[in-house]
Amino acid sequence: MFLSVEGLSLTIDGKKLLDSISFSAEKGTITLLSGLNGAGKSLLIRSLKGLENPESGKIILSGRELTKRKERMKAFALVFQDTALGIVGSTVEKDIAFGPQNLGRSHDEVAETVDEQLAFFSLEEKRKTRPAVLSGGEKRKLAIAGVIAMQPEVILLDEPFANLDYPSTLTVIRTLIKLKETGHTIIVVSHEAEKFLAHTDMTIILEKGRIKASGRSRDMIRTLKDNNVYLPADASFEELTWLR
């Protein structure tokens, strides 16, 4: 298994917010983390990233346990729900360059990475554009490009469809599919399963900091509905995408 999380628990101010979370993910797959508000979805991906300090549990990636926070920081990339926070460069190309520069890469390496990401995310024409004037979908693409440029092993996305209009949502779904096709391992926190469930491989439902249910996304339609996740009535698994 590419990623294994074993018994992850997190307590803040005496309150257990994540309780013995265990799951695994194969390389090149998309895992959906779903659940109601306050279930602990965002806390779980923040813990994987190293922004929270779980008191127990193991995170094993490609057979090696990530014991240090710095290792988790490097291995996982997190795209925040509020993209405005993650975008720090004054132009698209400068924002993509920000991460690789912080990793101490040479000028030529940074330039090469920026060109690669601009091409991959079809942002070449926006190279000199100010991020503030991009559309919602383009901003989300830029936020993803900015973290992919740091060559992480797993990409974590927190509510990637939040506040996006229909075309922007399609842009993000296409981006996720492209990332999956190029072998990236992705974990998406979302309660909008109806928009892209058909492209996911595994689904995990959290409730009050615990895993309530998990399994192949194809087999989870009934369970998602039973757990207050909206899915259109009578839609087959393949129909659960806005890309139809």
- Residues 150 and 145: their CA atoms lie apart, in Å, by 9
To other proteins, the closest distance from the beta carbon of 134 in angstroms equals 11
Within residues 79-98, the interface with other proteins by CB under 8 A covers 80, 82, 85-86, 88-91, 94, 98
Taking the alpha carbons at both ends of the chain, their separation in whole angstroms is 31
Query: Binders of other proteins among 186-205, rule CB under 8 A?
Result: none
Assign 120 to helix, strand or coil. helix
Distance CA 197, CA 177 (A): 11
Residue 12, interface with other proteins (CB under 8 A)? no
* CB-nearer residue toward other proteins: 104 or 232: 104
By beta-carbon proximity to other proteins, the closer residue of 75 and 220 is 75
Contact 9/43 with Cβ under 8 angstroms?
no
- Measured from the CB atom, is 77 or 224 closer to other proteins? 77
Contact between residue 25 and residue 214 where contact means Cβ atoms under 8 Å apart: no
Task: Using CB under 8 A, count the residues that bind other proteins.
Answer: 29
Residues 122-151 touching other proteins, rule: CB under 8 A, are 128-130, 146-147, 150
Interface map 44-73 toward other proteins (x if CB under 8 A): --x--x-x---------------------x
Give dist(CA 222, CA 163) in Å, integer: 26
